[in-house]
A and B are shown apart, each in its own frame.
Chain A
Amino acid sequence: DTAVSQTPKYLVTQMGNDKSIKCEQNLGHDTMYWYKQDSKKFLKIMFSYNNKELIINETVPNRFSPKSPDKAHLNLHINSLELGDSAVYFCASSQAASDTQYFGPGTRLTVL
């Protein structure tokens, strides 16, 4: 069984387009996250939700908007994609903020 899943795995798109990435966890965790990993492998948190409520919102452009329809799902919508948005985006979940985080397989976004 896949604990944290993301779709799509790869996303290639043109500048200016709008795209979404979906994440689901079946671990029963209360907290979910979005991370961005750039070409240098730096892992940077973008957002965190606890039981559908936004609790962490790092300095991320307004073009990025997370949505959590329920505590098992956290989606990421990106408007007006730019070249600099190219990266691998990881979803993760944990039972609580200071507990083990389980990562999804990642979505490699390439903006042309």
Chain B
Amino acid sequence: GENVEQHPSTLSVQEGDSAVIKCTYSDSASNYFPWYKQELGKRPQLIIDIRSNVGEKKDQRIAVTLNKTAKHFSLHITETQPEDSAVYFCAATDTGGGNKLTFGTGTQLKVEL
């Protein structure tokens, strides 16, 4: 099955700085890599996703990069704001397991004023 590792587990940045969260996956046939943001007490919500035929995708202050050869993908948040503080999860499809999503262990991002 798919194994997704996520680093770091906690990340503290100053407002306005950039934040980078990295994930690696094991299933070389994985083709879908979403990122979810979960604020305290709320549901996970998709913020950006990328498919295996694309190397990079950007949406305003957030971007995701995918390196299929190395089997890793990263989330980049620029000009961080206090409202970016949340837990971020990466995920990858497990093609041998009914195409379910396997989630990383989460990164607690704290943006300090």
Taking Cβ atoms with an 8 Å cutoff, the residues of A that contact B are 33, 40-45, 48, 55-56, 90, 97-106
| Interface residue? B58 (CB, 8 A) | no
The answer to whether A42 touches B106 (Cβ under 8 A) is yes
A43–B43 CA distance with the chains assembled, in angstroms: 11
Q: How far is the CB of B50 from chain A (nearest CB, A)?
A: 12
Known contacts A41-B106, A42-B105: A97-B46 contact under CB 8 Å: no
Q: Is the CB of B100 within 8 A of A41?
A: no
What is the chain A residue whose CB lies nearest that of B1? Answer: A58
Known: A48-B100, A56-B98. A98 touches B31 (CB 8 A): yes
Q: A42-B106, A90-B43 are in contact. Are A97 and B34 (CB under 8 A)?
A: no
* Known contacts A90-B43, A104-B43, then 12 further A-B pairs from the complex at CB < 8 Å, ordered by chain A residue: A40-B105, A41-B38, A41-B105, A43-B106, A45-B102, A55-B98, A56-B98, A100-B34, A100-B46, A101-B34, A105-B43, A106-B43
